[in-house]
Chains A and B, each alone.
Chain A
Amino acid sequence: MSQKVSLEVWILLEAVCNETATRAQREQLREMVTADPDVRRLYFEYVDLHLGCAEIVAARSASPLPAHLRRRTRPRLVPLAIASACVAVAATVLLLARSGTERRPVAELTDERRPRQVTAPPTFRSPETTPPALTTQPEPSVPPSPGSAAHVRGPSVASGEQAVARGSAPVPRHEDVVAILRRVPRPLLTSLRIGNAEDRLRGAACAAEQPSGLMNLFSGAALGDAKRMDEGLRIVEATTPSAKTQWMVGNEGCTARWLAWAALGLDALEGTPAASSFDQRIQRIRQAFGPILSLVRSRSGSGTAVRPFESSVAFIALGRRSGDDKLTKAGTVELTRALRLQQADGTLAARPACDAHLHASDVVLAHALLSLQPDDDVEQAARTAGDWLIRFMQKGGTGLPDATGPDACEFEAPRRQQLQWALAMHGVRFDPVALDLALQVRR
């Protein structure tokens, strides 16, 4: 085989393994691989080289990036910090001046965070869905109009008590997520479910099935719907063994997802009146955490998780719940890495064009993590990640990306609902426009 052919094959291999190959290049390589044993041999060697480089680099990647390659500290935080300081001073003056009267949320005082008006139908504020007042943020004395910012805003993570609680090991506040969800317009909340668990379990990829459990648990808790919670719990139960298996082989992507969603889901369940009827099942799932976590501990903290954001939420949630400092610390390591990996445009997932549902998962988890542990960097990451989703939706309109391109992916119903969830939570916390978009997601 000539050097010229060798070079040609090499270029094709590079393109295929980098996932930049055109259809013609793939076709050309297929023909050559099929026809020539020497090309096949080179192909196998190249695949081993490509995967081997990734393995070896990942194994020793706990060290930070070299200084000249490191992403600059978020420059936007500097003006934001100055603005926040000004706002804090202004807010203090305002509060003192109004001594004892209603305290306004920080988010409402910053113009750049002021949510745009929502054009939600009046039915969104049916009497039975009026959200209970949150301990961290009093309801406005005047009932808000349907869809107004005050109506949809959840507890600000930067608000007084939580900010004070920071650093003093606050009790996990998973119930905040449920409280936030109670502020989602009821028709949307009702639609935020993964129907027919049996179907999900038969055909779902891990990307959709584990979040399905949490979505049903959370929304069931918010709606007081025990049947829906049961459905969510069944999904969590049924995905447990596969998660265990996946972790065993070191392919921790799905396991991280399962751990994160299951841990948060069970906590959401436990905070409800219906929890007692699920006691035994909750215990069984908690027992399943044991062997998985023992394997997790042998690998965690290295900063090499396949899905660092999900891993970080899982480790932090479970570590704090069980008082396991090592696990919590491992979660912090992964969280640092996850935030470092966030792209300038706000995307958290590696390939947003095709993995918008994974990005949406991360947005939901970011909001859940904020309820668990207030953190400025996570809040900023959640804001920009949610903004990306809004732009994505406004650009595409349906959550369905180019279905004919080389990176086409299917936004099957559960994945669209993940997107709805992310938009709803982002809308409640930061930007009500996202609620409108959540309603527009095609089913």
Chain B
Amino acid sequence: MVDDIGGPDGEAADLFVAELQRHRQAIFAYVFSLLPRRADAEDVFQKTCEALWRKFDTWDRRSSFRTWACGYAWRQVANFGRFAGRERHWLDDDAIAKMAEERAADLEGHDDRLAALTACMNSLTGDERGLLDVAYRDKKPLKDVAQQMGRAVQTLYNQLNLIRRKLHQCVRLRTGTSGGLA
């Protein structure tokens, strides 16, 4: 029944909503990096959110909500792996274990990267922004976009690739990231 599921009420519910809204993108990014297939990541993310809702009273408010949430997300990803085939769960348990903790720490820089990305996208040319809009807005397969624009799909892939590289370098520059691969 509607009221039997549990979860926070009143002020706690407001706090939950605020925290989840604040960290939603980072938590989804965490899930997606362990499960890079959008439909699966969304399913797991939703299950994670339900778990967080029900277990909200176990969150120590002095600790990071994001870190606490990522712990639940990791469990949901692992749980998903038990049922999904190899095609969908291609990062095995070892790889996930190796990545999960590192990714949780890496997310400290997520908001800065997103802010930098917003600024970097503003510095793109009109054509570049237009292509990104078409590629991302409607979530259509790129071959359909290419057909719509009357262009070769490989050409679009190449152009998008260049734009993403440009954005990546711009974000790195703005966030002061150095070293590693670029």
Residues on A lying within 8 angstroms of B by beta carbon are: 1, 5-6, 9-10, 14, 16-19, 23, 26-27, 30, 33-34, 37-58, 61, 65-66, 68-69, 71, 205-206, 237-238, 240-242, 245-246, 248-251, 253-254, 284-285, 288, 341, 343, 350-351, 354-355, 406, 408
Contacts and interface: CB of A to CB of B under 8 A. Distances in A.
A400 to B, nearest CB: 15
Contacts of B171: 45, 49
- Sorted nearest first, the 5 A-B pairs with minimum C-beta distance are A38-B180, A241-B5, A57-B136, A42-B181, A52-B117
Given A41-B180, A45-B113, A69 B134 contact: yes
A30 B161 CA distance: 21
Nearest to A2: B181
A406 B84 CA distance: 12
Contacts of B91: 30, 33
Contacts of A250: 21, 24
A343 B172 CA distance: 37
Contact of A251 (B32, B45, B157): B45
Contact of A350 (B45, B136, B140, B157): B140
Given A14-B164, A38-B181, A52-B114, 4 more contacts: A18-B142, A34-B94, A51-B29, A54-B139
A241 B92 contact: no
Contacts of A56: 117-118, 121
Q: Which of B87, B134, B165 has the most C-beta atoms of chain A within 10 angstroms of its own C-beta? A: B87
Nearest to B134: A69
Interface in B85-118: 85, 87, 90-92, 94-95, 98-99, 102-103, 106, 110, 113-114, 117-118
Interface in B21-47: 21, 24-25, 28-29, 32-33, 36-39, 42-43, 45-46
B53 interface: yes
Contacts of A27: 90
A436 B29 CA distance: 44
A40 B102 CA distance: 9
Nearest to A405: B87
A45 B50 CA distance: 27
A54 B42 CA distance: 14
B152 interface: no
A144 to B, nearest CB: 42
Interface of B: 1-2, 5, 7, 16-17, 20-21, 24-25, 28-29, 32-33, 36-39, 42-43, 45-46, 49-50, 53, 85, 87, 90-92, 94-95, 98-99, 102-103, 106, 110, 113-114, 117-118, 121, 130, 132-134, 136-140, 142, 144, 148-149, 157, 161, 164-165, 167-168, 171-172, 177, 179-182
19 contacts: A5-B181, A19-B37, A27-B90, A52-B118, A55-B114, A58-B136, A58-B137, A206-B46, A246-B49, A248-B17, A248-B53, A249-B20, A249-B45, A249-B49, A251-B24, A285-B2, A341-B138, A350-B139, A406-B87
B140 A52 contact: no
Contacts of A33: 91, 95, 99
Contact of A69 (B95, B103, B106, B149): B149
Contact of A40 (B17, B20, B99, B140): B99
Q: Which of A39, A240, A249 has the most C-beta atoms of chain B within 10 angstroms of its own C-beta? A: A249
A10 B168 CA distance: 11
Q: Which of A44, A206, A354 has the most C-beta atoms of chain B within 10 angstroms of its own C-beta? A: A44
A44 B136 contact: no
Nearest to A242: B50
A65 B113 contact: no
Q: Which of A38, A50, A205, A284 has the most C-beta atoms of chain B within 10 angstroms of its own C-beta? A: A50
B113 to A, nearest CB: 5
A245 B53 contact: yes
Contacts of A26: 90
A40 B21 CA distance: 27
A277 to B, nearest CB: 16
Contacts of A9: 181
Contact of B136 (A1, A19, A46, A53): A53
